[in-house]
Amino acid sequence: MKKVLVATEKPFAPAAVAKIKEVLDKANYELVLLEKYTDNSEFLKAVENVDALIVRSDKVTKEVVEAANNLKIVIRAGAGYDNLDLDACTANNVVAMNTPGQNSNAVAELALGMMVMIARGNYNGKAGAELRGKKLGIHAYGNVGKYVAEIAKGFGMEIYAFDPFVDKEAIKKEGITPVDKVEELYSTCQYISLHIPANDKTKKSIGFDLLSKMPKNGTLVNTARKEVINEDELKKVFAERDDFKYISDIAPDCKDELAEFEGKFFFTPKKMGAQTAEANINAGVAGANQIIDFIENGNTAFKVN
C-alpha cells in the first residue's frame, strides 16, 4: 500500500483532511498525517518511509528529501513553491508539483478584505474612504491577480495590470488597462496588489523607487511573499511618507520597527491568504489526485522541477 504523508505545520481545515483521505482510500493509498509539528525532527522521521508528500508552506529541504527513502513525488498544495528545494528533489528523482489556481480565490478575497479594512481605518469608527473609483494596480496577472480584478470590478475600482508574461490584448479584453512598465503601475495606482512569486529576480524588488512613486494615500497590499519586499527601503518609505500604508498576510521581519506607524499597517498573525476550508479542500484534493495520477499513470502535469 502506497503511503502519502500530509505534513502541515499549519494544518488544513478538518473537512479538507477528510476529503484527502477519501480520495486516497478510494485508490487504496494510506494517509499519514503530521500536523502542527514543532520540531523538524518530527518531519524527518515521518517522511522516512512514505511514497508521496503533501505540504503547504512547510520547508522541504535537502535534509527532508534525503531522509525520505521511498519518496517519488512532493506536492506543494498551493501556488508558490519557493519552500521546496527543487535541486534536491531532482537529484533524488523526486517529482515536485504545485496545485496552481486551487487557492487563488481565497487569497484574492483576503486582499480585497484587507483593502476595505485599511480604507476604513482598521474599523476605528472614524470616517474612512471607499474603494469605488480608486485605481488598483495588479502586479502580476496570474491566477490570484485575475480573481482580485474580478472582485475589484464589483467594488467599482479602475483596474490596471502589469505582467510582461501575459498578452496585453487578453488583459484589455477583461476590461483592465495593461501597462508597459512596472513604474507606470506604481505611479498610476493608489492601491497596488502584489502577486509576483519569490525567486532570485523578484526578492527585494519592491522598494523605495517603486513605492515612493505611488499617488497620495498609496497602499501596498502583499498577499505574495515577504521576501519580495526590500524592508530597509520599506522603512524609509514609512519614514518619508505619512500617507503610505502597507497591508499583508505575512508580516515583514521589521514589523517591530514599524510600531510608531500604528494604524498605517496591518499584518495577519500567520500567512492566511489560503486559509479557508474551500481553498484547503481544492488544493489538498488536487494534490492527492495528482499523486495518484503520477504514480499510476506517470502524469507529470504541474511538475515544477
Q: How far is CA 166 from CA 104, 150, 177, 199, in A?
A: 17, 17, 12, 18
Contact (CB, 8 A) for 163 and 195:
no
Distance from the Cα of residue 97 to its chain's centroid: 15
Q: How far is the CB of 296 from ligand 3PG (least distance, A)?
A: 25
Q: Among residues 68 and 198, whose Cβ is nearest to ligand 3PG? A: 198
Which of 190/276 has CB closer to ligand 3PG? 276
Q: Of 245 and 271, which CB lies nearer to ligand 3PG in the complex structure?
A: 271
Q: Which residue has the cell 487563488?
A: 104
Q: Which is nearer to ligand 3PG, 103 or 290 (CB)?
A: 103
Nearer to ligand 3PG, 65 or 250 (CB): 250
Closest by CA to 271, choosing from 98, 78, 86, 42, is 78
Applying CB under 6 A, which residues contact ligand 3PG? Answer: 10, 56-57, 78-80, 103, 271, 273-275
CB of 304 to ligand 3PG, least distance (A): 12
- The distance of closest approach from Cβ of residue 12 to ligand 3PG in the complex, given in angstroms and rounded to an integer, is 9
Please report, for residues 61, 127, 193, the alpha-carbon distance to residue 165 in angstroms, rounded to integers and kept in the order given. Answer: 29, 40, 17
CB-wise, 214 or 220, nearer to ligand 3PG?
Answer: 220
> 195: which 3 cell numbers?
502577486
Q: Sort strands 3-8 and 30-35 into parallel, antiparallel or unpaired.
A: parallel
Coil, helix or strand for 299? coil
State which residue, 83 or 177, has the beta carbon closest to ligand 3PG: 83
Minimum CB separation of residue 172 from ligand 3PG in Å reads 28
Query: Per-residue DSSP letters for 95-108?
Result: EEEE-TTTTHHHHH
CB of 97 to ligand 3PG, least distance (A): 13
Q: Which amino acid is at 106?
A: A
HEC readout, 145-193: HHHHHHHHHHCCCEEEEECCCCCHHHHHHCCCEECCCHHHHHHHCCEEE
* Smallest gap from residue 268 Cβ to ligand 3PG (A): 11
For ligand 3PG, the closer CB: 79 or 228: 79
Query: What's the N-to-C CA distance of the chain in angstroms?
Result: 26
Pairwise CA distance, residues 3 & 27, whole Å: 11
Measured from each CB, the residue nearest to ligand 3PG is: 78
Which residue type does 168 have?
K
Residue among 220, 250, 225, 226 at smallest CA distance from 238: 220
| Least distance in angstroms from the C-beta of 260 to ligand 3PG | 29
One-letter amino acid for residue 218 of the chain: G
Residue 32: in which H helix or E strand, if any? strand 30-35
Least distance (Å) from ligand 3PG to the CB of residue 273?
6
